[in-house]
């Protein structure tokens, strides 16, 4: 009888419940914030690649200037370690020259620390010409 009464006693359960629920809510909040950070980094890298591609496609610029512009935009927004692998290539599609900027960077998993080269982004822009077109 005494054992049954002691097992039915719920004193002290509120702090335990608070800690358990609080921990779960904290982890959920941190996971959402991390997803938002990863999305932000992806958007920054993509926008920088697009800007670099359009800059490299200008008639009076070299492709490497577009890569440098991409690196600069990424460095200013999220840091230089995210701008280490930027390549620029010129391709031909349907008779039109296209500039391609390809960025491989870190996908943030915990804060800004993450998987190296797990995030890949590409941007394209038509090459501007000064011909009599």
Q: Does residue 131 belong to any structural domain of this protein?
A: no
Contacts of 79 (CB under 8 A, 6+ apart): 112
Q: Does residue 64 belong to any structural domain of this protein?
A: yes
Q: How many domains does the chain have?
A: 1
CB 42 within 8 A of CB 104: no
Q: Does residue 109 belong to any structural domain of this protein?
A: yes
Q: What are the per-10-residue average pLDDT scores of the chain (133 residues)?
A: 73 85 96 96 97 94 95 96 95 92 96 92 92 56
Residues 85, 55: Cα–Cα separation, whole Å:
18
pLDDT confidence of residue 129 = 80
Q: Does residue 132 belong to any structural domain of this protein?
A: no
């Amino acid at each position: 009888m005494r054992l049954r009464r002691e097992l039915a006693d719920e004193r002290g359960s509120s702090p335990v419940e608070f800690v358990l629920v609080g921990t779960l809510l904290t982890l959920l909040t941190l996971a959402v914030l991390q997803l938002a950070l990863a999305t932000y980094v992806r958007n920054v890298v993509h926008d920088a690649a697009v800007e670099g591609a359009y800059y490299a496609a200008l008639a009076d610029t070299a492709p490497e200037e577009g890569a440098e512009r991409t690196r600069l935009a990424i460095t200013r927004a999220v840091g230089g370690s995210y701008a280490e692998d930027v390549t620029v290539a010129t391709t031909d599609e349907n008779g039109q020259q296209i500039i391609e900027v390809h960025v491989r960077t870190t996908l943030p998993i915990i804060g800004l620390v993450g998987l190296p080269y797990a995030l890949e982004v590409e941007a394209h822009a038509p090459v501007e010409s000064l011909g009599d077109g």
